[in-house]
Amino acid sequence: MQWLAWEANKIGLCLPQLRCHHKLTDKNPNFQLSQGAYDWLINRYHHDVNVLDNKLQNKKFILGEEGSPADFSLSAYLLYADEINNIEVPKNVAHWLDRIKNLNGWQSPYTMLV
């Protein structure tokens, strides 16, 4: 339960805003973040994703050897990170996302939303 709450207030706080800014600003200037808001969200993301990266060091999944609801919650917005300019995921997070994508039955969010 702790990881579900953590995600909602950390990664889930900044990545959706940054993704919206990068994907929609060209089409609608109302989605443009102020420079201060953008800088805060970027800094928050880097801090939070590094916390996650450190927790995943030497772990297959966040709670052990098997994927859990916490892994799926934590990975949700991170699966879209490549759509955001200047956003990268650290090594342990990238490997963990690959393990999630290799789980039996996994489908990309875009496939599932169709």
| Residues 80/109, Cβ–Cβ less than 8 Å | yes
CATH at 41:
1.20.1050.10
84/33 Cα distance (integer angstroms): 14
Does position 1 have pLDDT exceeding 80, yes or no?
Answer: no
Q: Domain range spanning residue 24?
A: 2-112
Residue-wise pLDDT tens digits, 26-85: 788 887 899 999 999 999 999 999 999 999 999 999 999 999 999 999 999 999 898 888
Task: Calculate the CA 7 to chain-centre distance.
Answer: 9
Closest to 20 in 3D by CA, of 36, 7, 37, 33: 33
- Say if residues 77 and 19 touch (Cβ distance below 8 Å): yes
Task: State the pLDDT confidence band at 109, using cuts at 50, 70 and 90.
Answer: confident
pLDDT of residue 93: 98
pLDDT by residue (tens digit) across 92-102? 999 999 999 99
Q: Please state the rounded mean pLDDT for residues 105-110.
A: 88
pTM above 0.75, yes or no: yes
**What pLDDT, on a 0 to 100 scale, did the predictor assign at position 23?**
86
- pLDDT score recorded for residue 54: 97
Look up residue 24 and give its two tokens.
Answer: 């929609």
The structural domain count of the chain equals 1
34 DSSP 8-state letter:
P
